[in-house]
Amino acid sequence: MEIIPAIDLINGEVVRLHKGKYEDKTIFSNNPLEIASNWEDLGAQKLHIVDLDGALSGNIENLKVIKEIKNITNLSIQVGGGIRDFNSANHLLEDIGIQRIIFGTTAVENPNEIKKSIKQFGNQRIIVSLDSKGNFISIKGWTEDYKITIEDFLESMKNIGVKNFIFTDITKDGTLEHPNYKKINIMKNLIPSGLTIAGGISDIQDIIELDKLGIEKVIIGKAIYTNNINLKKAISLFDN
């Protein structure tokens, strides 16, 4: 089990949204570099960064901060939010040296950009988000529901060569109300390998339960900012 801390950015600040609502945000720090360094000091090897401004606008808006985090840490970084085409993916992966990028909206609206990215960089550096409030995919910073089921969308992504997915139950995200285990179990059956889980992870026991389900990676956000989860302890618990 890999434990991946998250940094969500709005205007260069580290925030957490409640159920994906931009109007319901909590600012945890105005120094994302300090937060990233802290997570690294506590034993994190990977970092999940979401440009929430970019997710709304369709352009990467917090690029300066992302570059700085990349430069001052040795973390393996994955970035999502505002990556709408191959050129954006290429800039992050090739020019800046980000390890993995996450496509969301583009995977629904323009999957050819994902195909191009996989062809250029291989399928291990490309992740697709499966974000939902029910059984339909949500896009554009989780502000719009797209009338395609997770299952149909997933099948279309597999067909173009996508191997890695992040599933987030938006109704659980930022709530500290525990994951949707029933849905996660379904997702695990659909994606036997290459599945990362996010949303609702509230305590160490949640991570233990997800590990029992065979989940390989979890992204933890609010719980490490509120000290519900001790990141160092969580990482050491699953350190093989």
Task: Give the pLDDT of residue 147.
Answer: 75
Q: Which of 203, 207, 204, 210 is nearest to 187 (CA)?
A: 210
Positions in the chain whose pLDDT score sits under 70: 141-144, 173-174, 240
pTM, two decimals, is 0.94
What are the extents of the domains in the chain? 2-237
Q: Determine the pLDDT at residue 143.
A: 67
Residue-level pLDDT at 141 = 64
**Sequence-ordered list of residues with C-beta below 8 angstroms from that of 171, at least 6 positions apart, any chain:** 19, 133, 134, 180
Q: Is 25:17 a contact under the CB 8 Å cutoff? A: yes
Handedness of CA 191, 196, 202, 203 (dihedral sign): positive
Task: Give the active site residues.
Answer: 8, 131
If you write DSSP's letter for every residue of 190-229 in order, what string do you get?
A: H-SSSEEEES---SHHHHHHHHHTT--EEEE-HHHHTTSS
Q: How many CB atoms sit inside 10 A of residue 94's CB?
A: 11
- What confidence score (pLDDT) does residue 230 get? 97
What pLDDT score does 100 carry? 98
The reported pLDDT for the residue numbered 132 is 80
CATH tag, 2-237: 3.20.20.70
pLDDT at position 170 is 78
